[in-house]
Amino acid sequence: MKDVGFIALTYVVTFGAIIAIVARTLITGSRLSKKIPDQDKPWI
Amino acid sequence: MNSTPRTEPARVGTPATRVFGLLAVLFLGWVVVGGLFITPADAIQGDSVRIMYVHVPTAWVAYLAFIVTAIASAGYLFGKRHSLGFDRVAGASAEVGVLFMALTLMSGSLWGRLTWGTFWQWDPRLTTTAFLFVTYLGYLAVRGLGGTPERRAKRSAILALLAVLEIPLVHFSVLLWRSLHQEASVLSSDGDVKLDDLMLFTLLVGVLGFTALYGWLVSHRQRILTMRDIEEAKGIDLAISERIAEGSVR
């Protein structure tokens, strides 16, 4: 495969950023969920 | 049979978000495998076309996110109840849109280096896209200025309704001005699809996968914004009650 460095960098940065934001979202959600009572969560 | 009381507080996930998450993992898994190893190289661009399977869907999701931000902002401003739920969806969608716009600019820059020989050109499409990105960074900064949730919602909704007007300018910039950037490959003006079947399939799976990921992220992030508002309101209530208690002691 030609230009493998640029192509690999595109996929690594894209999916790395996505994994990082998903992990941050899950951790923040979990932390806040412990502080907020269930009756204040309209999605339940 | 006795039911066991739940001790763990409910989290932000629901069955709907789990479906979004599962679809995103499946479709994006195909994008990585299919995009990198199975789809053919392009006759003109060679292997660099593999960047398209990431670049085009992230651009689509960024547009979608900013349009949803505008619709939710209009829902807040013009709705009878001025529900803060609309504002939180707008804020969550803009956050995700900025992330995807950044990824679009990054992947476009690397693709440009391979096809044009340069990371950046002050070309109409690239310049208007960068301007759109900076506008929504400003939108997020305005959301963080402080004040009551209602004031935040009103000022950011007005800004969102103005900012969304840039999207047609970005999209049609390749037609309005002479541009290095190619015109649309799939939805071209002559209606002719210029892609191999497997390439088109992988591109469409990418669009679906990134859209499912967008759904997952916005659902979770707007719930996080809801909990942050509740936490902040409780903090203010606690501070006020402490000051009242201090005053009564004196």
**Per-residue pLDDT tens for B170-183?**
988 877 777 777 76
Give me chain B's average pLDDT, please.
Answer: 89
Q: Are B110 and B172 in contact (CB under 8 A)?
A: no
Interface check B83 vs A, CB under 8 A:
no
Give residue B25's identity as a one-letter amino acid code: V
Chain A residue at shortest CA distance from B102: A14
What is the span of the domain harbouring residue B154?
Answer: 18-37+49-180+198-233
Q: Per the domain annotation, does B239 fall within a domain? A: no
Q: Per the domain annotation, does B12 fall within a domain? A: no
Q: Per the domain annotation, does B28 fall within a domain? A: yes
- Interface touch B220/A26, C-beta < 8 Å: yes
- Rounded to an integer, what distance in angstroms lies between the CA atom of residue B210 and that of residue B222? 18
Q: Per the domain annotation, does B248 fall within a domain? A: no
What is the predicted ipTM?
Answer: 0.93
Q: Per the domain annotation, does B75 fall within a domain? A: yes
Residue B68 CB partners (closer than 8 Å, separation 6+): B89, B90, B93, B218
- Interface touch B223/A10, C-beta < 8 Å: no
Of A9, A22, A41, the CB nearest to B10: A41
Chain A neighbors of B50, CB-CB under 8 A = 7
Task: Place B34 in a pLDDT band, splitting at 50, 70 and 90.
Answer: very high
Domain count, chain B: 1
Q: Is the pTM of this model over 0.90?
A: no
Q: Per the domain annotation, does B143 fall within a domain? A: yes
- Interface touch A41/B48, C-beta < 8 Å: no
Chain B neighbors of A6, CB-CB under 8 A = 48, 51, 110-111, 113-114
Q: Per the domain annotation, does B79 fall within a domain? A: yes
- Rounded to an integer, what distance in angstroms lies between the CA atom of residue B12 and that of residue A26? 8
Range of lowest pLDDT (B66-75, B80-89, B226-235): B226-235
- The reported pLDDT for the residue numbered B183 is 67
List of chain A residues with pLDDT < 50:
none
Q: Are B156 and B90 in contact (CB under 8 A)?
A: yes
Please state, in angstroms and as integers, the Cα–Cα distance from residue B223 to each residue in A34, A44, B7, B26, B118, following that order: 13, 11, 21, 24, 41
pLDDT by residue (tens digit) across B80-126? 888 999 999 999 999 999 999 999 999 999 999 999 899 998 888 99
